[in-house]
Amino acid sequence: MGRNTHFSDAERATPPPIGSIVSFKYHGRTKYGRPRFASFLRITDEF
């Protein structure tokens, strides 16, 4: 709670398995081009 990742309490208790493909949003990029302030949106089947 209060972590601003957009995970519900249930999703935080049982997060997606390592290797899952997820969608996320972010606000800005680092000087190395990596996403900053990423927030989880959903697990996705698309790649």
Q: What local confidence, expressed as pLDDT, does residue 12 receive?
A: 83
Q: What local confidence, expressed as pLDDT, does residue 47 receive?
A: 65
Query: How far is the CA of 42 from the CAs of 10, 25, 34, 45, in angstroms?
Result: 13, 10, 20, 10
The answer to whether residue 1 scores a pLDDT higher than 70 is: no
9-46, pLDDT tens digit by residue? 888 888 889 999 988 899 999 999 999 988 888 888 87
Where are the chain's structural domains? 9-43
**What gap in Å lies between CA 43 and CA 28, rounded to an integer?**
22
Residue 9 host element (H or E):
helix 9-13
